[in-house]
Amino acid sequence: MKIDVLTLFPEMFVGPLDFSMVKRARDSGILNLRVVNLRDYTHDRHKTVDDKPFGGGPGMLLKPEPIFEAVENLANATTRVIMLTPTGRKFDQQLARELAQQEHLLFLCGAYEGFDERVRTLVQDEVSIGDYVLTNGALPAMVVIDAVTRLLPGVLGDDQSSQDESFSHGTLEYSHYTRPAEFRGMRVPDVLLSGNHAEIEKWRREQAKLRTEERRPDLLE
């Protein structure tokens, strides 16, 4: 998979995407990740990317010219252009799996008061990571990239790991235990020590449902 990120703050991406599964995916060639500075597509001496909104109001808006030029340069027929914005579709595991099937993703990271409305004609999707507002779109882009990357075949040590997680089947994940079998008076459930895989699977399904009913009943609705 190829991912391009268009941002005003490329330095923010140094570090978070250089470790763990994302680093493994990049090193192995499964993920081709490029972070692009929006100012590289300006043509004035001050590298201007923003301006005051027509009609007045607080803050500044990202201008359309550099964004259009960048997208036209970076995108092709297979590219899915995604705007990261609080007004977008809420990001979840289902959307992560959908994006993991794409050949090329191009993320547009907002800043200031957001984008000139005409930029929306360039995008196929608008995505939000939650009902709150951040300083800019860099952190949401990192969250989406991490969630998508770990779903790419060959990134996790066992691809089945991503099939049995929270939200994968409409429920939260069941409880997990490891050695020792007893710790400070707390014992691992006997069924997990039984070796009976059918009973273990049944117990896990029941535990997932109970946990979801208790903590996220909205998922069951």
- What residue spans in the chain does CATH classification 3.40.1280.10 cover? 2-149
Tell me the CATH number for domain 164-220. Answer: 1.10.1270.20
- How many other CB atoms are there within 10 angstroms of residue 21's CB atom? 17
pLDDT at 219: 87
In the chain, where does the domain assigned CATH 1.10.1270.20 lie? 164-220
d(CA 44, CA 91) in angstroms, rounded, equals 36
Q: Output the pTM of the full model.
A: 0.86
Q: Two tokens at 134?
A: 């951040």
Q: How far apart (Å, rounded) are the C-alpha atoms in residues 1 and 101? A: 9
pLDDT in tens, the chain (221 residues): 999 999 999 999 999 999 999 999 999 999 999 999 999 999 999 999 999 999 998 999 999 999 999 999 999 999 999 999 999 999 999 999 999 999 999 999 999 999 999 999 999 999 999 999 999 999 999 999 999 999 999 998 655 554 555 565 788 999 999 999 999 999 999 999 999 999 999 999 999 999 999 999 998 88
Q: According to the model, what pLDDT value does residue 163 have? A: 55
Number of C-beta neighbours around residue 58 at 10 A? 8
Alpha-carbon distances, residue 172 vs 99, 110, 126, 217 (angstroms): 21, 31, 26, 10
CA–CA separation, 86 and 114 (whole Å): 10
Tokens of 206: 């029941």
What is the rounded distance in angstroms from the CA atom of residue 78 to the CA atom of residue 103?
Answer: 6
DSSP state of 30: S
**Domain 2-149 classified CATH 3.40.1280.10?**
yes
The DSSP result for 160-201, as a single string, is: GGGGSSTTTTSSPPPP---S-SEETTEEPPHHHHS--HHHHH
What 3-state DSSP class applies to 23? helix
